[in-house]
Amino acid sequence: MVVPCTEYGEAQAPVLLGLWEYVKSGQEDVLRSPFLPASFAFLAHVLLCVPFLALDALGSVCQRVRSWRMTAGSGPPPSLSRWLECFCRVLYKYVTVVLPVTALFNTLINLKLPDVAPSCWQLCVEVVACLLLFDMLFFMWHYVMHRVSWLYRNIHQMHHQHHTPFALAAQDCSSAELLSLLLLSLSSAWMVGCHPLSEALFHLINTWLAVEDHCGYDLPWALHRLLPCLGGAPHHHAHHSLQIINYAPLFTHWDHLFGTYRASVLNSRPQ
């Protein structure tokens, strides 16, 4: 049996090969659509929020679920009406600003589809590189937004209306900030030179981590408990509470290096 190789001579995984052949043969027009990045970002965000919507619903009747909330004694989880209001705000900003601007950005990039699928090694390296690069870029942008009062008042302050955030609120911010988030993630993938499959996986992981950071729950199975290099929901909850610490969106090393890291007391809370 002959195993196909990438342009770098690495063997391709059959699942990646089959997936890429399927996408290229039947979905190439979708991949080349300038509206794909914004549409994918919005749909991924909403769908990945669904488990936390279920948790919020269960929290109104289940004490065990309420005990996982980082503000367990401050009241019930966000109501369905609050979720719907947030959904409408985010959708409006995507339709009016994010979709047209990212469509223009994607048109200027002039995406070229590779002939072959990535190897597993290439996929992993590109995804990790994108996550690290995005984390660095957003740390700098986030820090500047807090330090420059005009930027905070006009761009970032809206996001901090949520002193106790919930999952959908990860993208509940000003149109300018929401656009900057997507442009930073798209630029990260472009600078790394990602294969489209690697880029899609990067965006999914990045969106999940953002949703988990804002979910309002310190869950026993959360990723920051498995990977200590991640900040997780307690790390970002501390940022929303004090606003002068924990600027990095994913990892903690930049906050350690710049002296803005603050460990949350929730990390040591018994489960």
How many whole angstroms separate alpha carbon 98 and alpha carbon 151?
19
Query: What is the predicted pLDDT for the residue at 258?
Result: 94
Domain ranges of the chain: 33-65+77-108+119-258
How many whole angstroms separate alpha carbon 170 and alpha carbon 114?
33
The span from the first CA to the last CA of the chain, in angstroms, equals 51
Kindly report the number of other CB atoms within 10 A of residue 90's CB atom. 21
Give the residue among 55, 65, 51, 59 at the shortest CA–CA distance from 271. 65
Handedness of CA 258, 263, 264, 265 (dihedral sign): negative
* Regions in the chain scoring below 50 on pLDDT: 1-3, 9, 267-271
pLDDT in tens, 124-174: 999 999 999 999 999 999 999 999 999 999 999 999 988 888 999 999 999
Instruction: Collapse the DSSP code of 62 into the 3-class scheme (helix H, G, I; strand E, B; otherwise coil) and give the result.
Output: coil
Query: What is the predicted pLDDT for the residue at 144?
Result: 96
Measure the CA angle with vertex 177, ends 261 and 190; round to 5°: 85
Query: What is the predicted pLDDT for the residue at 243?
Result: 87
Query: What is the predicted pLDDT for the residue at 218?
Result: 87
Query: What is the predicted pLDDT for the residue at 12?
Result: 62
Instruction: Collapse the DSSP code of 217 into the 3-class scheme (helix H, G, I; strand E, B; otherwise coil) and give the result.
Output: strand
Query: What is the predicted pLDDT for the residue at 75?
Result: 61
